A and B are shown apart, each in its own frame.
Chain A
């Protein structure tokens, strides 16, 4: 069974440009999460989809970030326009249940975004 897949693995863009990150969750997982780790800091929650709906986007830093999940399958996270402080590693995770009980969230390998 394929795990959570993220594209691209690395991205280097100039300040002001647009970047789109993609996440393909494990098939059948309704819950999809985006997290971000800025250099030297904790991994922070960005948002949570249940199928195609945004359950919680309280962690989104500002309106330059737009997340979508078309048809409840893969998700994209667009940053437009990118700023230097957006550099970091963006993780996607999926789970069948809402991380309750022992239902762990399965993470992708992350996308390392560098804004120069």
Chain B
């Protein structure tokens, strides 16, 4: 079974500063994928970044980067130069294979990020 742990229920960051959102995972599968999603107050889930378990380099997408430490089973999201629009819930998720042969996402509880002007 897969498990995602996000230990920070809420985080504050000053505008223009960088912030790291923590995510640790547990799985027995050798092949897996890690995702980060953003959920603003409007409710939709917005895909931010993906890291495959065999990827040699950390994933980056604009101001988002994923600090992937495989041995420690962590996949922290780093947001550089925070903007007011970054205030939202952030979910870490892992793609795993269910017993029924279906790929599905396992989510953490989320971290609420608030950017302070």
Contacts and interface: CB of A to CB of B under 8 A. Distances in A.
Interface of A: 9, 33, 35, 40-45, 48, 55-59, 89, 91, 93, 98-102, 104-110, 112
Contact of A107 (B33, B37, B99, B104): B37
Majority DSSP secondary structure for residues of B touching A: strand
B57 interface: no
A14 to B, nearest CB: 23
24 contacts: A9-B43, A33-B105, A35-B107, A40-B109, A42-B109, A42-B110, A45-B106, A48-B104, A55-B100, A56-B98, A58-B98, A89-B43, A98-B102, A99-B95, A99-B105, A101-B33, A102-B52, A104-B50, A105-B47, A107-B44, A107-B45, A107-B46, A108-B44, A109-B43
A88 to B, nearest CB: 12
A99 B108 CA distance: 17
Contacts, number: 76
A41 B103 CA distance: 21
Interface string B64-80: 00000000000000000
Nearest to A89: B43
A8 to B, nearest CB: 12
A102 B93 CA distance: 13
B91 A43 contact: yes
Contacts of B43: 9, 89, 109-110, 112
A45 B95 contact: no
A91 B45 contact: yes
Given A45-B105, A107-B44, A109-B44, A56 B100 contact: yes
Contacts of A40: 109
Contacts of A89: 43
Contacts of A101: 33, 52
Given A105-B47, A107-B37, A99 B104 contact: yes
